[in-house]
Amino acid sequence: MDSPTTPEPALVDLAAAPTAVVAAVIPVDQLIDHFDQSFGQVAAVIADQAVGIAGPAFALYHGLPGETVDLEVGFPVGREVRPDMQVGPGELPGGRVARLVHHGAFDQLGSSWGRLQEWITQQGLTPGGDFWEVYVTEPSPDMDPADLRTELNWPVEE
């Protein structure tokens, strides 16, 4: 059984949200470098176009990672961004989504994703092919990883 401080998964209904992203298929061992480069580039394009950031950074995964990862890294925005450098428009999916907030370090995200997938199955639902992480707490080099909060979102079908 979970401790009282462990959040429970829940179902939420979301509207689709426009995003500014860098889309790529990369080797899994390049993920951290890709995040570092992409978030900075997306933020610069958003500022240059005065589009406005409408929420925390995210990573949208297209299918389960293997040796490579197919993903979009970016921010939700107030209006569509024009393509510039590697940055282009995207969209976070709308609809029914299973959500779990992960408390702690990024290297423990796999176990939380597994827990969310198990919960989805227990509810008699089918997880979609795409899913995303929202980095609610902005990481910094001097912070305690236990203070990180990452929202896990997985669209589901009956």
Give the CA angle between residues 146, 55, 58 to the nearest 5°: 60
| Cβ-count burial 124-133 (b if 16+ within 10 Å, e if not) | ebebbebbbb
| Sign of the Cα pseudo-torsion (99, 103, 106, 107, in order) | negative
- Whole-number pLDDT of residue 1: 41
Distance, in Å, from the CA atom of 26 to the CA atom of 76, rounded to the nearest integer, reads 22
Distance, in Å, from the CA atom of 65 to the CA atom of 149, rounded to the nearest integer, reads 21
Rounded to a whole number of angstroms, the CA Rg of the chain reads 16
The neighbour count for residue 22, using CB atoms within 10 Å, is 22
Can you say whether residue 84 is alpha, beta or left, with left for phi > 0 and alpha for psi between -120 and 50 degrees? beta
- Whole-number pLDDT of residue 4: 42
Region 10-157: CATH code: 3.20.80.10
Per-domain residue ranges for the chain? 10-157
DSSP class of 94:
-
Task: Please name the residue that has the structure tokens 């990452």.
Answer: 150
- Whole-number pLDDT of residue 22: 98
- Whole-number pLDDT of residue 139: 79
- Full pLDDT tens readout for the chain, 158 residues: 444 456 899 999 999 999 999 999 999 999 999 999 999 999 999 999 999 999 999 999 999 999 999 999 999 999 999 999 999 999 999 999 999 999 999 989 999 999 999 999 999 999 999 999 999 998 777 888 889 999 999 999 98
